[in-house]
Amino acid sequence: MSDPLSLPFTEARRQLSAREYVGASLRAIGEHNAKLNAFIHVAGEGAGGPLSVPIAIKDNIVTRDMPTTCGSQILAKFVSPFEATAVSRLRAAGWSIVGKTNLDEFAMGSSTEHSAFGPVRNPWNTARVAGGSSGGSAAAVAARMVPAALGSETGGSVRQPAAFCGVVGLKPTYGRVSRSGLVAFASGLDQIGIITKTVRECAELLGVIGGHDPLDSTSSAQAVDDYGADVDRGVRGLRFGVVSEAVEKLEGEVRTNFDAALEILRRGGAVVEPASVPTIGHAIAIYYIVANAEASANLARFDGVRYGHRSARGKTLRDLYFDSRGEGFGAEVKRRIMLGTFALSSGYYEAYYGRAQAVRARLRADFDAAFQRFDFLLTPTTPEVAFPIGAKTDDPLSMYLSDIFTAPANLVGIPALAVPSGFSREGLPLSLQIMAPHFAERALFRAAAFFEKETNYWRRAPKL
Ligand code: GLN
């Protein structure tokens, strides 16, 4: 048999015993991790129970048998006393957690360069970033170290690294997957997401981890769908809107690739027409106010008393707070806390946070109106291919613009999926983003599966 990790798990698990499958994954991790730095922790041989499929978990989702660092010095030795609901559901379904993946500190970033444990390297070109913040999860799947991984999304952290690494990435509808055990960044935007090689695998996994959870009051009571049911139905008659305001300035290979993707959908019998989401250009401005405001509140709990790193330097309680946070948090996290605290401060609250929430409501109304006419909305997943390591670390604004096409779905709460759409001349992955109305994941998988079947880019693996 060919390398089992190059097959979808839906096939590999029929051919392999649980022990063989997990063993193959642990071997591949052992072989490639020194080069890619995708994993922060790797489980020991024989981890778990009667296992079937290996999976990696982003290291901001808590597990009991391995630490959860959030890519931060402040939590470098933290082991959670409980497990995330998504993780317990995976275990109950027979999955084996083989490791915890590297990320930007507290999921704040678009390149996994803001990790206290060093950057993740892109398996297609190790001088390039893997994207972020779930860069470890995306690189691990792309490099065939695991057949699947969980990531987290606040503004694009699953889709953007999936795009840079040439794999499938899903951000589910807000409330579709329990956030219990996902370390909070911006609670009103956060959602656990899924990274796989193929759309069908992604659909199966959503069925495992999705659904209501009494431990997360924002999780939806809506029943879990049969997500893979329509993956073979094609796109004839389905209506795709191309978000004009987002794509008008596209150039170069991203433009040609995107236009080619539209043609593939048209050939399949889909209706592909221009759509308008007039406020979409404000998404990044709204996102970096709302997300940082929520982050400044959520990260207040890391005070050296209750969790994580405690500084022994100072004498007073005030010293303890200042030193523990000063020593434990990295520069980007500090920047976010300061920006968020400012946006919420008295005298500025209305001008920043209040305004951002008002424009966010308009953005949502614009999406609702567009979905009156279309089943799906399309953009490229990212405005460019994976950039060189170091290219944006001194320019936070240009790093933030990496999320220009992904952040809108988080602000509006809709599901969105990144599917590989080809390769640049330099051999770097390109990606198509498909967005759908709230809870329309089943339709999303249908559309993406058609595109995948027509193109088959997932079969190409990076040479390591
Ligand atoms: N890149 C975005 C940020 O830095 C999104 C992060 C995420 O989705 N967790 O905030």
How far does residue 311's CA lie from ligand 1's centre (Å)?
A: 28
The distance from CA 350 to its chain's CA centroid, rounded to whole angstroms, is 30
How far does residue 287's CA lie from ligand 1's centre (Å)?
A: 9
Measured from the Cα of 110, ligand 1's closest atom is: 1
Q: Is the pLDDT score of 49 beyond 70?
A: no
**What are the two backbone dihedrals, phi and then psi, of residue 11, each rounded to the nearest 5 degrees?**
-95, -45
Structure confidence at residue 196 as a pLDDT band (50, 70, 90): very high
Catalytically annotated residue among 157, 296, 324, 402 = 157
**Radius of gyration of the chain, Cα coordinates, nearest whole angstrom:** 21
> Is there a contact between 184 and 190 (Cβ–Cβ < 8 Å)?
yes
Residues sharing a CB contact under 8 Å with residue 419, sequence separation 6 or more, in sequence order: 168, 199, 431, 432, 434, 448, 451, 452
Q: Is the pLDDT score of 45 beyond 80?
A: no
Task: Indicate the pairing of strand 376-380 with strand 239-243.
Answer: parallel
User: 397-429 pLDDT, tens per residue?
Assistant: 999 999 999 999 999 999 999 999 999 999 999
User: 324-363 pLDDT, tens per residue?
Assistant: 999 999 999 999 999 999 999 989 999 999 999 999 999 9
Higher pLDDT, 33 or 17: 33
How far does residue 109's CA lie from ligand 1's centre (Å)?
A: 5
User: 121-135 pLDDT, tens per residue?
Assistant: 999 999 999 999 999
- Atom 5 (ligand 1): residue with closest C-alpha? 155
User: 245-303 pLDDT, tens per residue?
Assistant: 999 999 999 999 999 999 999 999 999 999 999 999 999 999 999 999 999 999 999 99
How far does residue 21's CA lie from ligand 1's centre (Å)?
A: 32
Measured from the Cα of 154, ligand 1's closest atom is: 8
Instruction: Identify the helix (H) or strand (E) that includes residue 28.
Output: helix 18-36
**What are the two backbone dihedrals, phi and then psi, of residue 433, each rounded to the nearest 5 degrees?**
-105, 130
Question: CB under 6 Å to ligand 1: residues?
Answer: 107-110, 133, 152-157, 185, 291, 403
With 0-12 CB in 10 A as exposed, 13-18 as middle and 19+ as buried, what is 146? Answer: buried
pLDDT at residue 44, rounded to an integer: 80
Distances (CA, A) of 333 to 83, 161, 280: 25, 19, 26
Q: What is the DSSP string of 240-278?
A: EEEEHHHHTT--HHHHHHHHHHHHHHHHTT-EEEEE--T
CATH code of the domain occupying 4-278+361-459: 3.90.1300.10
Instruction: Identify the helix (H) or strand (E) that includes residue 12.
Output: helix 9-15
Residues sharing a CB contact under 8 Å with residue 304, sequence separation 6 or more, in sequence order: 310, 311, 320, 321, 323, 324, 325, 328
Q: Is the pLDDT score of 18 beyond 90?
A: no
The residue assigned the tokens 């069925």 is 207
With 0-12 CB in 10 A as exposed, 13-18 as middle and 19+ as buried, what is 56? Answer: buried
How far does residue 188's CA lie from ligand 1's centre (Å)?
A: 13
3-state class (DSSP) for residue 169: strand
pLDDT at residue 307, rounded to an integer: 85
Catalytically annotated residue among 110, 115, 133, 421 = 133
> Is there a contact between 57 and 195 (Cβ–Cβ < 8 Å)?
no
- Atom 4 (ligand 1): residue with closest C-alpha? 109
Mutate to test the pocket of ligand 1, among 58, 61, 106, 154 (most ligand atoms within 8 A of CB): 154
User: 69-127 pLDDT, tens per residue?
Assistant: 999 999 999 999 999 999 999 999 999 999 999 999 999 999 999 999 999 999 999 99
> Is there a contact between 13 and 53 (Cβ–Cβ < 8 Å)?
yes
Burial track 95-127 (b if 16+ CB lie within 10 A, e otherwise): bbbbbbbbbbbbbbbbbbbbbbbebbbbbbbbe
Mutate to test the pocket of ligand 1, among 403, 406, 410, 411 (most ligand atoms within 8 A of CB): 403
pLDDT at residue 46, rounded to an integer: 60
Task: Indicate the pairing of strand 148-153 with strand 125-129.
Answer: unpaired
- State if pTM tops 0.85: yes
296 flagged as catalytic = no
346 flagged as catalytic = no
Q: How does the average pLDDT of the chain come out, rounded?
A: 96
Q: Where are the domains of the chain?
A: 4-278+361-459, 281-355
pLDDT at residue 48, rounded to an integer: 55
User: 99-108 pLDDT, tens per residue?
Assistant: 999 999 999 9
User: How far apart, in whole angstroms, are the C-alpha atoms of residue 47 and residue 96?
Assistant: 7
pLDDT at residue 19, rounded to an integer: 87
How far does residue 183's CA lie from ligand 1's centre (Å)?
A: 14
User: How far apart, in whole angstroms, are the C-alpha atoms of residue 293 and residue 189?
Assistant: 12
Measured from the Cα of 402, ligand 1's closest atom is: 1
pLDDT at residue 40, rounded to an integer: 98
Average pLDDT over residues 224-250: 97
User: How far apart, in whole angstroms, are the C-alpha atoms of residue 46 and residue 44?
Assistant: 6
How far does residue 301's CA lie from ligand 1's centre (Å)?
A: 20
In this structure, how many other beta carbons lie within 10 angstroms of the beta carbon of residue 3? 11
Measured from the Cα of 332, ligand 1's closest atom is: 4
3-state class (DSSP) for residue 149: strand
pLDDT at residue 232, rounded to an integer: 98
Structure confidence at residue 47 as a pLDDT band (50, 70, 90): low
User: How far apart, in whole angstroms, are the C-alpha atoms of residue 198 and residue 162?
Assistant: 11
3-state class (DSSP) for residue 215: coil
Task: Indicate the pairing of strand 271-275 with strand 239-243.
Answer: parallel
Measured from the Cα of 158, ligand 1's closest atom is: 8
> Is there a contact between 48 and 91 (Cβ–Cβ < 8 Å)?
yes
Structure confidence at residue 382 as a pLDDT band (50, 70, 90): very high
Whose CA is closest to 293, among 397, 364, 188? 188
171 flagged as catalytic = no
